[in-house]
Amino acid sequence: MDAVLGLLDEAAPDQRRWHLISTEFTLHALRSPEAARALNEQREMFRSRLTQLVEEIAETNGLEFSVPAEQFVRMVMALHEGARSESLLEPRKVPAGSLEHTFLPMVLEAVTR
């Protein structure tokens, strides 16, 4: 989990600034088909890289997914993005990384054997 979360955070040392930019561009992409194509291309490259990492980690640890690894990665990304919002809005109640470290192991256990 630490390797996966590290990859999600590696491009964004300033989480607040990155979250604001990312959210603004996502909103723009929802309104603009051209921006949506560009965002989807970027996200697909990242998701592919992260899926490959997850598959390698699973194989090394003898785990088999009951769902496609890419679907698991999409869930990880969604949880991470939502958790980042929560921790930026309420840092005392939701320290950075706390939701991911609590719930991602549960999700992983639910989708592997």
Query: For each of the chain's 113 residues, which pLDDT tens digit applies?
Result: 666 666 566 555 677 888 899 999 999 999 999 999 999 999 999 999 999 999 999 999 999 999 999 999 999 999 989 999 999 999 999 998 899 989 999 999 999 99
Q: List alpha helices for the chain, DSSP H.
A: 2-10, 15-31, 33-60, 69-89, 98-111
Beta bridge partners of 65: 112
Looking at residue 20, what is its pLDDT?
92
Measured CA to CA, the distance from residue 17 to residue 22 in angstroms comes to 9
> What is the amino acid identity at position 14?
D
Measured CA to CA, the distance from residue 86 to residue 34 in angstroms comes to 29
Residue 73, class by beta-carbon neighbours within 10 Å (0-12 exposed, 13-18 middle, 19+ buried)? buried
Domain ranges of the chain: 2-111
Measured CA to CA, the distance from residue 105 to residue 76 in angstroms comes to 10
**pTM (2 decimals)?**
0.83
Do the Cβ atoms of 6 and 109 come closer than 8 Å?
A: no
Beta bridge partners of 112: 65
